[in-house]
């Protein structure tokens, strides 16, 4: 069919090419931004005497009616249009006639699409920040409730040292706070308007890019028009941050899966976020957590897809860049879904402190404290470490733990032992003695918790 852009070409494209070329089936999602951008553009054109105020008002009213009809569903996207920009312009011209044809003065789809995408992502990134905060809040809530629960801390997935459950959860809160800060930083760099860059070189019309940018809530304009239409860093930067955030969520999801297994039994995930098996009646599977872990790969894939699409592209706009949208939309959708499910799953998760404690009592996770005890008594740490090691080995042989290893046995290893050794290997003491800032001691965990809560209020 003949195209709006029929000029030197006949505009007669094959149906196959039309379908291949069209982005409307995915870029329709930017219709609000597209219309909002066009309204600001029409207003600027009139303010700069490029079109009349009458024409501008007609355009804005026409765009408003399109917006309302799309919002209400009266108007749908089932037209053979090349993209959302053509779609809106075509309907506008149908509705208001000649003035509609003036809207595209002093702009191009190249700057228009870059504008729409920045505005769309500005709003999505804002939502993702809110959703991130909801997950942090859920983590802080569980950390607060579980402040006193002792659980083994792991390295190499081997029981290592006793920690507070709240301490472990707050580690994730810290990571997500940084993710939130990274999104905020990316948004600062993204909030510059490309509109008015036109096809690539700017325009001969006396436009006012800055007032148009300000009307659309931007902090300024892209200073180089070629950069304005070619830059997709803002997509890559957000996708990088989303990838990091998904990596964090996947680690947390993995721990939920482990912790809720029969092997650990540290937490119970609410039935609302688990599934059963079709043949094994006893099964309770952590599908939601597994999907969060699994969907992390998609987001990495989206980032790689766009990085690869942009690699080696000559300036300025190339149609390859239309591939940006499906990648970033998928990344946005995926991160949002994962954050949306993680918050209530964490909120409703039931910690099982008895089991945590039982696990902490096995595995000699107080062996470091035994060595530290001897060190306090004047034994050099390396010697103390060796002594503690042989005591642990002896306990294993005898089926004992450090807490009930008899004093006369301790004395066979070193004459520095005394009755106070039991104090030193007591798990509660092991935790409360870790007074270093950021450590697992209750005071430190409490101050981490208030830091996180403070950040959430900002
Ligand atoms: N649908 C296009 C995209 O998403 C809009 C820009 C098209 N510009 C052009 N000169 N063909 O990138």
- Given ligand 1 and candidates 322, 323, 329, which is best to mutate, with the most ligand atoms within 8 Å of its CB? 322
Return the CATH number at 89: 1.10.275.10
Residue 257 lies in a domain: yes
Dist. CA 322 → ligand 1 center (Å): 6
Q: What is the pLDDT of residues 376-420, one digit of tens each?
A: 999 999 999 999 999 999 999 999 999 999 999 999 999 999 999
**Range of 90's domain?**
15-105
- Alpha-carbon distance of 452 to 251, in angstroms, equals 20
Give me the pLDDT at residue 37, please: 98
- Alpha-carbon distance of 321 to 317, in angstroms, equals 7
Beta-bridged to residue 192, according to DSSP, are 220
Dist. CA 85 → ligand 1 center (Å): 9
Q: 269 and 305 share a domain?
A: yes
CB 148 within 8 A of CB 118: no
Please list every protein residue whose CB sits less than 6 Å from any atom of ligand 1.
23, 27, 83, 109-110, 113, 317, 319, 321-322, 325
Counting from 1 in the atom list of ligand 1, the atom nearest the Cα of 84 is 1
- Alpha-carbon distance of 10 to 456, in angstroms, equals 58
Residue 206 lies in a domain: no
For atom 2 of ligand 1, the residue with the nearest CA is 322
Give me the pLDDT at residue 280, please: 80
Give me the pLDDT at residue 207, please: 98
Dist. CA 31 → ligand 1 center (Å): 14
Q: 100 and 132 share a domain?
A: no
- For residues 420, 422, 428, 430, the Cα torsion angle rounded to the nearest 10 degrees is 70
Q: 351 and 394 share a domain?
A: no
Rg (CA), the chain: 31
Q: 342 and 265 share a domain?
A: yes
Residue 68 lies in a domain: yes
Q: 100 and 124 share a domain?
A: no
pLDDT above 90: residue 12: no
Counting from 1 in the atom list of ligand 1, the atom nearest the Cα of 82 is 1
First to last CA, the chain: 54
SS3 string, the chain, reads CCCCCCCCCCCCCCHHHHHHHCCHHHHHHHHHHHHHHHHHHHHHHHHCCCCCHHHHHHHHHHHHHHHHHHHHCCCCCCCCCCCHHHHHHHHHHHHHCHHHHHCCCCCCHHHHHHHHHHHHHHHHHHHHHHHHHHHHHHHHHHHHHCCCCEEEEEECCEEEEEEEHHHHHHHHHHHHHHHHHHHHHHHHHHCEECCCCCCCCCCCCCCCHHHHHHHCCCCEECCCHHHHHHCCHHHHHHHHHHHHHHHHHHHHHHHHHHHCCCCCCCEECCHHHCECCCCCCCCCECHHHHHHHHHHHHHHHHHHHHHHHHCCCCCCCCHHHHHHHHHHHHHHHHHHHHHHHHHHHHHHCEECHHHHHHHHHCCCCCHHHHHHHHHHCCCCHHHHHHHHHHHHHHHHHHCCCCCCCCHHHHHHHCCCCCCCHHHHHCHHHHHHCCCCCCCCCHHHHHHHHHHHHHHHHC
**pLDDT, averaged across the chain:** 96
Q: 305 and 397 share a domain?
A: no
Dist. CA 258 → ligand 1 center (Å): 47
Q: What is the pLDDT of residues 146-189, one digit of tens each?
A: 889 999 999 999 999 999 999 999 999 999 999 999 999 999 99
Residue 193 lies in a domain: yes
Dist. CA 110 → ligand 1 center (Å): 6
Number of domains in the chain: 3
Q: 344 and 274 share a domain?
A: yes
How crowded is residue 263: how many other Cβ atoms within 10 Å of its Cβ?
Answer: 9
Of 131, 308, 338, 312, the C-alpha closest to 235 is 308
Give me the pLDDT at residue 35, please: 98
Give me the pLDDT at residue 89, please: 98
Dist. CA 289 → ligand 1 center (Å): 38
Residue 213 lies in a domain: no
Return the CATH number at 394: 1.10.40.30
Q: What is the pLDDT of residues 338-368, one digit of tens each?
A: 999 999 999 999 999 999 999 999 989 999 9
Give me the pLDDT at residue 275, please: 86
Q: 336 and 374 share a domain?
A: no
Give me the pLDDT at residue 354, please: 97
Q: What is the pLDDT of residues 189-228, one digit of tens each?
A: 999 999 999 999 999 999 999 999 999 999 999 999 999 9
- Alpha-carbon distance of 95 to 73, in angstroms, equals 17
Q: 122 and 22 share a domain?
A: no
Dist. CA 55 → ligand 1 center (Å): 26
- Given ligand 1 and candidates 26, 83, 120, 232, which is best to mutate, with the most ligand atoms within 8 Å of its CB? 83
Mind telling me the catalytic residues?
Answer: 156, 277
> What token pair was written down for 105?
């003065």
pTM equals 0.94
CB 162 within 8 A of CB 401: no
Give me the pLDDT at residue 68, please: 98
Residue 127 lies in a domain: yes
Q: 73 and 100 share a domain?
A: yes
- Given ligand 1 and candidates 26, 37, 319, 320, which is best to mutate, with the most ligand atoms within 8 Å of its CB? 319
CB 41 within 8 A of CB 212: yes
> What token pair was written down for 29?
């999602």
Cβ partners under 8 Å of residue 443, min gap 6: 435
- Given ligand 1 and candidates 9, 85, 87, 113, which is best to mutate, with the most ligand atoms within 8 Å of its CB? 113
Residue 386 lies in a domain: yes
- Give the β-pairing of 158-164 and 150-155: antiparallel
Residue 270 lies in a domain: yes
CB 239 within 8 A of CB 323: no
Give me the pLDDT at residue 4, please: 77
For atom 4 of ligand 1, the residue with the nearest CA is 322
Q: 196 and 176 share a domain?
A: yes
Q: Which residue has the higher pLDDT, 284 or 80?
A: 80
């Amino acid at each position: 069919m003949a195209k709006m852009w029929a000029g030197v070409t006949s505009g007669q494209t094959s149906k196959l090419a039309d379908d291949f070329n069209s982005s409307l089936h995915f870029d329709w999602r930017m219709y609000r931004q597209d219309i909002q951008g066009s309204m600001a553009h029409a207003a600027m054109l009139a303010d700069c005497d490029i079109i009349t105020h009458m024409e501008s008002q007609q355009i804005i009213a026409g765009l408003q009616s399109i917006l309302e009809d799309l919002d209400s569903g009266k108007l749908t996207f089932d037209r053979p249009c090349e993209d959302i920009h053509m779609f809106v312009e075509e309907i506008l011209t149908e509705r208001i006639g000649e003035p509609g044809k003036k809207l595209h003065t002093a702009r191009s789809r190249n700057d228009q699409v870059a504008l729409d995408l920045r505005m769309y992502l500005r709003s999505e990134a804002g939502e993702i920040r809110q959703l991130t905060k909801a997950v942090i809040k859920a983590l802080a809530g569980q950390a607060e409730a579980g402040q006193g629960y002792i659980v083994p801390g792991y390295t190499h997935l081997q029981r290592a040292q006793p920690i507070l459950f709240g301490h472990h959860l707050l580690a994730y809160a810290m990571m997500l706070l940084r993710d939130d800060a990274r999104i905020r930083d990316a948004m600062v760099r993204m909030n510059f308007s490309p509109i008015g860059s036109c096809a690539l070189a700017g325009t001969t019309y006396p436009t006012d890019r800055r007032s148009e940018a300000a009307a659309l809530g931007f902090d300024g304009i892209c200073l180089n028009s070629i950069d304005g239409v070619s830059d997709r860093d803002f997509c890559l930067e957000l996708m990088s941050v989303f990838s990091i955030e998904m990596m964090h969520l996947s680690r947390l999801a993995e721990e939920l899966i482990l912790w809720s297994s029969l092997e650990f039994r540290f937490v119970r995930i609410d039935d609302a976020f688990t599934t059963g098996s079709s043949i094994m009646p006893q099964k309770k599977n952590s599908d939601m957590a597994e999907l969060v872990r699994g969907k992390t790969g998609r987001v990495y894939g989206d980032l790689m897809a766009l990085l690869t699409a942009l690699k080696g592209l000559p300036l300025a706009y190339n149609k390859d860049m239309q591939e940006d949208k499906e990648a970033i939309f998928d990344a946005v959708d995926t991160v949002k879904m994962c954050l949306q499910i993680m918050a209530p799953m964490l909120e409703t998760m039931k910690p099982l402190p008895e089991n945590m404690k039982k696990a902490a009592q096995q595995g000699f996770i107080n062996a470091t404290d035994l060595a530290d005890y001897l060190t306090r008594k004047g034994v050099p740490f390396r010697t103390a470490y060796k002594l503690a090691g042989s005591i642990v080995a002896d306990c294993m042989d005898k089926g004992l733990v450090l807490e009930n290893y008899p004093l006369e046995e301790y004395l066979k290893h070193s004459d520095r032992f005394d009755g106070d050794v039991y104090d030193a290997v007591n798990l509660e003491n092991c935790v409360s003695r870790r007074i270093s800032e950021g450590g697992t001691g209750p005071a430190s965990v409490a101050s981490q918790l208030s830091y996180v809560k403070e950040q959430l209020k900002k």
